[in-house]
Amino acid sequence: MFIGAGPSGELRYPAYQLDKWTFPGVGAFQAFDNYMLAQLKAQATSISKPEWGYPPTNAGGYNSKPEDTQFFSNNQQNNWNSEYGQFFLDFYSSSLIAHGERIFNAANTIFDGYLFFFFSSKFSLFILFYLFINSYPVSMSFKISGVHWLYNTDSHAAELTAGYYNTAQRDGYGPISRMLLSVNGSFDFTCLEMRNSEQTESARSNPEQLVAQTRGVIYILILIFKFFLKFTFFEKKKNRVLNLIQLNIVEKMLLQDMIQQHMIKL
């Protein structure tokens, strides 16, 4: 079951709204409502940096290019890689992950690990009763958007405005994967079918590398989780999880190949 957590059902901010944005613009940060402003101000005050309690005002507009802005450019004051930039981006992405965790925990509470089908037929009540008695298990997941444009830049501006703190120097998908792992959720990713050769040069896209990065992060977390499970006493849960995340021979070979080619960033 897919759990909707944002625009188009994806866990992200509405950073590239179609009535305001044109591909491949950087998008826009969604941190100017009263709630986000209050949270950001409180976070900045807690580290004795009240002047950081505001979103970037130098990040351009929806259709800007990274180099046309101060925030997404390199070697600019208060840019994405400055102390202020790192503080804001960590707050922005962490808020999205916390939002996803709250929604997933609510879904777990409602469904309690079970799926009920509703049919408009004379057998519906019988089927519901049967599923209730037999506790039909359900696997739930979040859809993560494949923001592939501007990936071939240092700042990865489009990913940043969407809420994925992923840059040339930092992996942004490990924290999302760890959150999903903690709530027994699955990571569903888009743009798997896309090829670099199909993209325009001006978009500076790299969907193949993006997919390889997210796949590598997930596989490493799975291997770590498997190792951890060997030392737990929750055998019932352990067996259930291992059945869901068992790696086959091809996947193990792929993981080893990605490690050797340094395609995995943690």
Please report the pLDDT score of residue 181 as a whole number: 79
Residue 266 lies in a domain: no
Highest mean pLDDT among 2-6, 35-39, 130-134: 35-39
Percent of the chain with pLDDT over 70: 71
Residue 243 lies in a domain: no
For residues 148 and 249, the model is more confident at: 148
Please report the pLDDT score of residue 45 as a whole number: 97
pLDDT in tens, 139-198: 788 899 999 999 999 999 999 999 999 999 999 998 998 888 788 788 888 888 999 999
Mean pLDDT of 17-37: 96
What domain count does the chain have?
A: 1
For residues 44 and 245, the model is more confident at: 44
Residue 136 lies in a domain: yes
Residue 60 lies in a domain: yes
Q: What angle do CA 189, 194, 197 make, to 5 degrees?
A: 150
38-42, 117-121, 132-136, 153-157, range with the lowest pLDDT: 117-121
Please report the pLDDT score of residue 120 as a whole number: 43
pLDDT in tens, 69-104: 999 999 888 999 999 999 999 999 999 999 999 999
Q: What is the 3-state secondary structure (H, E, C) of the chain?
A: CECCCCHHHECCCCCCCCCCCCCCCCCCCCCCCHHHHHHHHHHHHHCCCHHHCCCCCCCCCCCCCHHHCCCCCCCCCCCCCCHHHHHHHHHHHHHHHHHHHHHHHHHHHHHCCECCCCCCCCCHHHHHHHHHHHCCECCCEEEECCCCCCCCCCCCHHHHHHCCCCECCECCCHHHHHHHHHCCCEEEECCCCCCHHHCCHHHCCCHHHHHHHHHHHHHHHHHHHHHHHCCCCCHHHHHHHHHHHCCCHHHHHHHHHHHHCCCCCC
Is it the case that residue 57 has pLDDT exceeding 50? yes
Please report the pLDDT score of residue 219 as a whole number: 65
Q: Tell me how far apart the alpha carbons of residues 22 and 28 are, in angstroms, rounded to a whole number.
A: 12
Residue 221 lies in a domain: no
Residue 200 lies in a domain: yes
Mean pLDDT of 218-224: 63
Report the CATH number at residue 180: 3.20.20.80
Per-chain mean pLDDT for the chain: 81
Range of the domain at 136: 7-206
Is it the case that residue 222 has pLDDT exceeding 80? no
Contact criterion met (CB below 8 Å) for 221 and 173: no
CA-based nearest residue to 179, from 152, 148, 147, 144: 144
Residue 176 lies in a domain: yes
For residues 228 and 175, the model is more confident at: 175
Please report the pLDDT score of residue 112 as a whole number: 63
pLDDT band at 22 (very low <50, low <70, confident <90, very high): very high
Please report the pLDDT score of residue 228 as a whole number: 54
Q: Cα Rg for the chain, rounded, in angstroms?
A: 21
